[in-house]
Structure 1
Amino acid sequence: MSAAPIFQSRFDALQCCVVIPTYNNERTLAAVIRGVLVYTNNIIIVNDGSVDNTVSILKDFPQLTIFHQPANQGKGNALKKGLQLAENGGYKYAITLDSDGQHYADDLDVFLTELEKKGRNEKEILLVGDRNMGQDGIPGKSSMGNKFSNFWYLVVTGQQLHDTQSGYRLYPLEIVNKIPLYTKKFEFEIEVIVKAVWRKVDVKNIPIKVLYQEGGERVSHFRPFKDIVRIVILYIWFVLVSFLYIHPKNKYQDFKEKGFRKFWKEDVLKSQEPAHKKAAAIALGIFVGISPFWGLHTLLVFVLAASFKLNKVIAFLFSNISIPPLIPIIIYASYQAGSVLTGHGFRWELNLTDFDSTSKIVESLWQYILGSMALAAFISFILWIVFYFLFSITNPKQVIKP
């Protein structure tokens, strides 16, 4: 009688399985399955319409749950099918890994260990393997694509991951299978983590190993142009949804739950943040509010605040300096600043005849843009000094340490 797989009891105790989507990976599929079988028998294979020897290979593993898609429908659809089969089979969690041979089966221990740390009453987790994309041997296009995705993930969720595109993951099935997911291909793995964060799931990276073989047996079905375009379009949609609906809704819910005083202290002032960062958030908001990018202020302030890891609520509040009563003053001051910077001096009187030709309008517009950027930089710098001083007095422990 053969011994049970090494982690079988852990998989069973956690009600966890492994889901492997596959498409035309005949050269690596059998080895991947055998590697996983060393650790567990709880394996679900979704054959996404392969036209190579995949069906024949899978006949050697009759003990596994195997589903054959009649035609190729994309990795996203294959994953959705696998996760649904897992929940229908009585599992609560599923670890997914690719069938191209880049993942190491012994890293299943990393996912199980992290899941075992989770308390019963703690919020659900979704784990994404961190492949350390900066290491030697990682293709440059993969590293750059991952950095692009990581940045926009930060913008739309306010949270940071070092690897957003790894297929080695652990999913909480009850939550994920209830999320409306519309993408069908590689962008599915971005859609699911963004929407999971929006539903208060704790999405985080855990370190894993990765094997990239140049010209070896590994076959990738990622199409650089088409799939990147899909990802870009998805993030554009997420930016609109997050700024216009998700972020405002979440902050309103926090406000209702905490009340004004607690919300102001924790979400606006964030007393745990150092003085220089709170002051920088105010300065950023003022800078964006005065800048000439009308109609884009909200988008800019959230993107920049996320990029510099500043308090988005504070930055957004102070960006609203460009409210109707102040708009004429900001435009006038910006124009005058531009006039001084372009060598025309301060002009006390402005007449409509100053804008009676196209060339003068273009010249005036340039003066306004130049002046508004200079004014925004000057005022934001002064306010950073003022608020840094005020926050430092309020809480001396928050002063920047030398």
Structure 2
Amino acid sequence: MTPNPDPAGRMRLCAVVPTYNNAGTLEDVLMRTYRVLPDIIVVNDGSTDDTQRRLAASPIPVTVVELAENRGKGYALREGFRKARACGYTHALTIDSDGQHYPEDIPLLAQEALLHPEAFIIGSRPLKNKNMPQANTFANKFSNFWFRLQTGCSLPDTQTGFRLYPLSGIRGTRWLTSRYEAELELLVFAAWQGAELRPVTVRVFYPDKEHRISHFRPTADFLRISLLNTALCFGAVIYGWPRKLFRRIRNRKQ
């Protein structure tokens, strides 16, 4: 198992798994995650399918945070991080419950975090992977462009939900959105604060279209992403870029 392989005690790692109506894939994700990382927090984001019953009957010992109604992935992650801190964890690995990510790749992120305990470790998917929806590829490239403009940093995959966060690095962060684009927001704020962002190549699985479950709403979600990017661009002008310039000047004087 990969759990907390740090003899110096710098890292106590758990998995945070937000889920919404993914009962059909959740059990497999949890079982495979448990084999490499047994400390798991599941945030049931108001699922209306069989998720709650399956979690109650699961043979895997997981901590469950139940939300009475669907609040969005960003809100679910925030509740998961809050629970992780309350349980004494220093780092949280996030993984989606739809089966897209390979839990077997968790050790790749964990080992990188051991070498860089204050960094944000980003599991980067190959954008040309077989069966990857064209809409996903476009959305990722679109997001990568705006991220580079807002922060001056380049990442190969700013849309991935497979990440490892130092919980101290997101403490006190004010979230602008509660939906899935909050993950982009977290990266932008981390870059503005001068955090190290380290991509790690991971595998990705996309089932055939007829077996794929997606909660993406093209019109509403694209509008919300556009509004967020507008706000972040404004924030970059008045906060992000000046802070980065100040940091450069200070480093030159040292």
TM-score, normalised with respect to structure 1 = 0.60
> Shift in Å at residue 173 of structure 1?
0.5
1:230 paired residue among 224, 229, 242 = 224
Identity of aligned residues (%): 34
> Shift in Å at residue 127 of structure 1?
1.3
Structure with greater strand share of residues: 2
> Shift in Å at residue 10 of structure 1?
2.0
The one-letter amino acid of 1:23's match is Y
**Is 1:206 aligned to 2:200, yes or no?**
yes
> Shift in Å at residue 29 of structure 1?
0.7
CA contact (8 A) 1:28 1:218 kept: no
Offset from partner CA, 1:307-359 (integer Å, 9 cap, x none): xxxxxxxxxxxxxxxxxxxxxxxxxxxxxxxxxxxxxxxxxxxxxxxxxxxxx
What is the SS of the residue equivalent to 1:45? strand
CA contact (8 A) 1:186 1:227 kept: no
Structure with greater helix share of residues: 1
> Shift in Å at residue 69 of structure 1?
0.1
Offset from partner CA, 1:5-59 (integer Å, 9 cap, x none): x223527953000000000001101111111111122000000000110011001
Aligned residues: 251
**Is 1:181 aligned to 2:179, yes or no?**
no
Task: Tell me the residue number matched to 1:89.
Answer: 87
Offset from partner CA, 1:203-234 (integer Å, 9 cap, x none): 12110000000145442212222112111111
Offset from partner CA, 1:351-372 (integer Å, 9 cap, x none): xxxxxxxxxxxxxxxxxxxxxx
> Shift in Å at residue 253 of structure 1?
4.5
> Shift in Å at residue 255 of structure 1?
2.6
Distance between the aligned counterparts of 1:249 and 1:90, measured in 2? 31
Distance between the aligned counterparts of 2:78 and 2:244, measured in 1? 27
> Shift in Å at residue 252 of structure 1?
3.3
Q: Which runs of 5 or more structure 2 residues have no equivalent in the other structure?
A: none
Distance between the aligned counterparts of 2:12 and 2:52, measured in 1? 28
The one-letter amino acid of 1:129's match is G
Distance between the aligned counterparts of 2:210 and 2:236, measured in 1? 41
The one-letter amino acid of 1:51's match is T
The one-letter amino acid of 2:67's match is Q
Task: Tell me the residue number matched to 1:109.
Answer: 107
The one-letter amino acid of 1:58's match is L
Give me the CA root mean square deviation: 1.8
What is the SS of the residue equivalent to 1:109? helix
Distance between the aligned counterparts of 1:66 and 1:228, measured in 2? 31
Task: Tell me the residue number matched to 2:24.
Answer: 27
TM-score, normalised with respect to structure 2 = 0.93
Task: Tell me the residue number matched to 2:132.
Answer: 138
When residues 115 and 69 of structure 1 are mapped into structure 2, their CA distance, relative to the original with a 3 A threshold, is same
Q: Which runs of 5 or more structure 1 residues have no equivalent in the other structure?
A: 1-5, 263-402
> Shift in Å at residue 186 of structure 1?
1.2
What is the SS of the residue equivalent to 2:122? strand
Distance between the aligned counterparts of 2:210 and 2:6, measured in 1? 32
The one-letter amino acid of 2:21's match is N
2:236 paired residue among 225, 230, 242 = 242
Higher relative contact order, structure no. (Cα contacts within 8 Å, ≥ 6 residues apart): 2
Distance between the aligned counterparts of 2:227 and 2:209, measured in 1? 31
Alignment of 1:161-172 (within 5 A): 161-172=155-166
2:49 paired residue among 49, 52, 76 = 52
CA contact (8 A) 2:192 2:243 kept: no
Distance between the aligned counterparts of 1:257 and 1:21, measured in 2? 39
1:10 paired residue among 5, 8, 11 = 5
Distance between the aligned counterparts of 2:204 and 2:135, measured in 1? 16
What is the SS of the residue equivalent to 1:79? helix
